[in-house]
Amino acid sequence: MVDNQWLLAIGLGLSGMIPRILPLYLLKDRDFSPELIRWMSYIPVTIFSALVFTDIFFWEDQFLIHPLENLKLIPSIIVAFIAAKMDNLFVSMIVGVLAIVLMVWGFA
Predicted confidence band at 2 (pLDDT cuts at 50, 70, 90)? low
Alpha-carbon distance of 52 to 80, in angstroms, equals: 12
| Higher local confidence (pLDDT), 95 or 32 | 95
Of all residues in the chain, what percent carry a pLDDT higher than 90?
13
pLDDT at 13: 92
Cα 94 versus chain centre, distance: 16
Do residues 87 and 96 touch, judged by C-beta distance below 8 A? no
